[in-house]
Amino acid sequence: MDTNKGTNRVLRLNVADWIKKWAMILPEKIALVYDDEPMTYATLNARINQLSHALLALGVKRGDRVGALLTNCVEFFEIFFACSKIEAIFVPLNFRLAGPEIAYIINDCTAETLFFSGEFSERIASIRENLSVKEGRYVTVVGKTPDWASEYVTLVTGYPTEEPKIPYEKDVESPHVIMYTSGTTGFPKGAVFTQRKTFFNILNANIYYHVTPKDKIVVSRPLFHSGGLLVDSLPFLYKGGTVILKRRFEPEELIYAIQRYRATVMETSATMYRFILDRCDLSAYDLSSVKLYYTGGEVVPLPLLKAYGERGIVITQLFGQTETSTVTWLPAEYGLKKLGSVGLPVFHGDVKIVDEAGNEVPPNQVGEVIVSGPILMSGYWGHPELTEKTVRNGWLYTGDVGRRDEEGFFYILDRRKNMYISGGENVYPAEVEKVLYENAGVKEVAIIGVSDAKWGEVGKAFVVPRKGANLTVEGLIQWCAERVAKYKVPKYIEFVERLPKNAAGKIMKHRLKTSPEETA
């Protein structure tokens, strides 16, 4: 008997079926609200079907990669679910990246189709000659359409709203997303998500959000991030809830939207929570509809949690990474009792703290956080050696350092070596250091994260100039700004004669740590 075949029969699933099923069960239920315009599940499913037919007509087939360089919009979800429906692979792109960074990702996964917001036309035009995207497969979603691209509405117009006939069976192990994350190696890595991984990630979130069709969430994170898509949006669309979306949110707009739409869950970055405290009078808003407040993705200062607690708002934390999505979740009832904890392992997943030999350590002993279960990525696209290094014997080694208390609650003590988070965005110094080394006047460079009142952390570069080089702080900042995303550009640059090194010649970055006031 072919047990694997039988198992696949049971586990055949496709995340696009969620929208199709709710379009049958509650067709007039509001799925999305974008810039105050509601869209029902029936309408959303019809639009997904039209795009699915259009993609098939373009020649997009199972396993093909489809890039999307978009700000938050309804079309983002349509493209995501249409790719899933026809079992193409969706590749969301960070719109904050510079042209060369975008080109690297598109070519690394050899995407042949690209959807993009019109505002990014010039950026795409500057790299188009070197991209893997085929002629006739550039599509603008909103804004002005250049003569070398087609327009989204025109692309889908005329195609049927009925379900497309797919010439292959659903496969739970089919990859449907490649989400790129930068790494300490200095180049982005594409984490591959299967249908099964996404399904279990969403099941985990629903257990803690307690989502029903009556629930609503205002999504303030960008959808190209795991947080905006997997942690915030999809759990609500899976359960027939409502996602309130805007292109971008300011703190006042976010709080007002929660009040106006009577949102029941609030999840946003610690940076946004900090901005809200700084700029909003919370007593002027009615937030009584909110039953849960969550945050994750960056270090959350205890004073911030306490400041909200004094206002009667208990914010609890979750922890994860792109390769796994959420791996620990603090139940709301423990928000004050376990202040600072990132919670317990998710329902469908296992988490351990281990020493350098991979042995689990006792409670309160520090070690590396490792994760196992159906929530793991299937690997890094095109990099099996990196996959083998990261996932060993079924456990993914996060590189994050933490501890577990006697009751099983986890605490993150530090992030993976050298990484810092600026305004909710992961920044890996090696990537920016590589760019600075391309400047002929730079002999050596080391970048660290330093605290910042506005963004949480920003970069500081220590630069050893080459003899005779005419380097300036302004010039190096401009050099970086032309080559990497704005949030990666170091805010501070200090010229030094030498960098501290150990006996092996490796730079000791911990010796560079200091306060921004001392380094500005």
Q: What is the pLDDT of residue 8?
A: 43
**H helices of 347-484, where?**
384-390, 429-437, 473-481
The answer on 282 and 388 residing in a single domain is yes
Spatial distance between the Cα atoms of 131 and 143, rounded to a whole number of angstroms: 22
Q: Is residue 389 part of a domain?
A: yes
Within this chain, do residues 328 and 468 fall inside the same structural domain, yes or no? no
d(CA 278, CA 23): 41
pLDDT digits (tens, 9 = 90+) for 107-124: 999 999 999 999 999 999
Are 280 and 403 in the same domain? yes
Percent of residues, the chain, with pLDDT higher than 70: 94
DSSP 227: I
Q: Are 437 and 446 in contact (CB under 8 A)?
A: no
Asked if residues 197 and 372 have their Cβ atoms less than 8 Å apart, the reply is no
Q: How far apart are CA 110 and CA 103, in angstroms?
A: 10
**Pairwise CA distance, residues 201 & 349, whole Å:** 9
Same structural domain, 234 and 378: yes
Indicate whether 238 pLDDT > 60.
Answer: yes
Judge whether residue 78 has pLDDT over 70: yes
The 10 Å CB-count burial string (b at 16+, else e) for 417-452 is ebbbbbbbbbbbbebbbbbbeebebbbbbbbbbbeb
- Of residues 383, 392, 416, 389, the one with CA closest to residue 402: 416
Domain end: 367, 394, 414, which one? 414
Number of domains forming the structure of the chain: 3
Residue 44 lies in a domain: yes
Q: Does residue 8 form part of some domain?
A: no
Residue 26 lies in a domain: no
Same-domain pairing of 109 and 247? no
Q: How confident is the model at residue 414 (pLDDT cuts 50, 70, 90)?
A: low
Q: Is residue 31 part of a domain?
A: no
Structure tokens at 51: 């795009």
Cα separation, 431 vs 447, whole angstroms: 10
The pTM of this model reads: 0.84
- Ordered DSSP codes for 153-214: HHHHTT--SSPP--SS---TT-EEEEEEE--TTSS-EEEEEEHHHHHHHHHHHHHHHT--TT
- Domain-embedded: residue 448: yes
Residues 408 and 424 in one domain: no
Domain, as residue range, for 371? 199-414
Cα 474 from Cα 265, distance rounded (Å): 43
- pLDDT band, very low/low/confident/very high, at 141 (cuts 50, 70, 90): very high
Sequence letter at residue 9: R
What is residue 516's predicted lDDT score, i.e. its pLDDT?
40
Q: Which of 388, 414, 440 is the last residue of a domain?
A: 414
**C-beta separation of 367 from 355 below 8 A:** yes
Would residue 226 count as lying in a domain? yes
For residue 1, is it within any domain? Answer: no
Q: Are residues 273 and 138 in the same domain?
A: no
CB–CB of 419/427 below 8 Å? yes
Residues 258 and 388 in one domain: yes
The dihedral through the CA atoms of 317, 195, 244, 253 has a sign that is positive
